[in-house]
Amino acid sequence: MFALEIARGMWTTFKSMFEKPVTIEYPDVKRPVRPRFRGRHVLQRYENGLERCIGCALCAAACPAGAIFVEAAENNDQQRYSPGERYASIYEINLLRCIFCGFCEDACPTEAIVLEHNYELSYLNRRDAIYTKDRLLVPVPPEGRATPMTVPPGAFGKAIPEMEDPD
């Protein structure tokens, strides 16, 4: 009986020698993620370069881990960062506390915060784990304009996802 079990184990080992390996050479080949994967946070912009975040802090209120800090400031017509009355002057996410649940993404009324598919998050000290607004914001597209922008008075009344350029 004992010899039969050893022979079965050897046969299983012998069969697996001819199967294709499932190992992925990680730094050279990156494995694709699932469509619903939640990775690194990104703050989106509108097509004209304005920030989508209006500083409402609903994402911070929805975060069960308390990983998000938002401080709002008032927009004016000389310096406009977002289409609403306010914008997020300080936006920080502590990735050491974040559980990547996606509640912040669901709570955002302007779809400003998005969890992308980047899973390569590493840092050497605790300070690098706090992502500030400049690290989270999508860069301004080459054809877009940089923030802040000057607009005629009354051009933006509220934050709407599909908005027109004031020019």
Q: Is the pLDDT of residue 153 over 70?
A: no
CA dist 121 and 167 (Å) reads: 39
What average pLDDT does this structure show over 59-82? Answer: 93
Total domain count, the chain: 1
Q: Is the pLDDT of residue 154 over 70?
A: no
Q: Are 97 and 66 in contact (CB under 8 A)?
A: yes
pLDDT at 165: 52
What average pLDDT does this structure show over 77-104? Answer: 92
Domain membership flag for residue 119: yes
pLDDT band at 76 (very low <50, low <70, confident <90, very high): confident
Q: Is the pLDDT of residue 147 over 80?
A: no
Domain membership flag for residue 44: yes
Q: Cβ atoms within 10 A of the Cβ of 107, count?
A: 17
- CATH code at position 58: 3.30.70.3270
pTM of this prediction? 0.73
Report DSSP state, residue 117: S
Domain membership flag for residue 147: no
Domain membership flag for residue 107: yes
**Cis before 21? omega within 30:** no
Lowest-confidence pick of 49-53, 85-89, 152-156: 152-156
| Strand spans (E) along the chain | 41-43, 68-74, 86-94, 113-115, 130-131
To the nearest whole percent, how much of the chain has pLDDT over 70? 84
Task: Give the model confidence (pLDDT) of 8-43 as tens digits.
Answer: 999 999 988 888 888 888 889 988 899 999 999 999
CA dist 53 and 166 (Å) reads: 18
**Domain that residue 55 falls in:** 37-136
Q: Are 80 and 148 in contact (CB under 8 A)?
A: yes
pLDDT at 31: 87
Domain membership flag for residue 16: no
Domain membership flag for residue 104: yes
Domain membership flag for residue 23: no
Domain membership flag for residue 157: no
Which residues are CB-neighbours of 123 under 8 A, at least 6 positions away?
A: 95, 129
What is the rounded end-to-end Cα distance, in angstroms, of the chain? 86
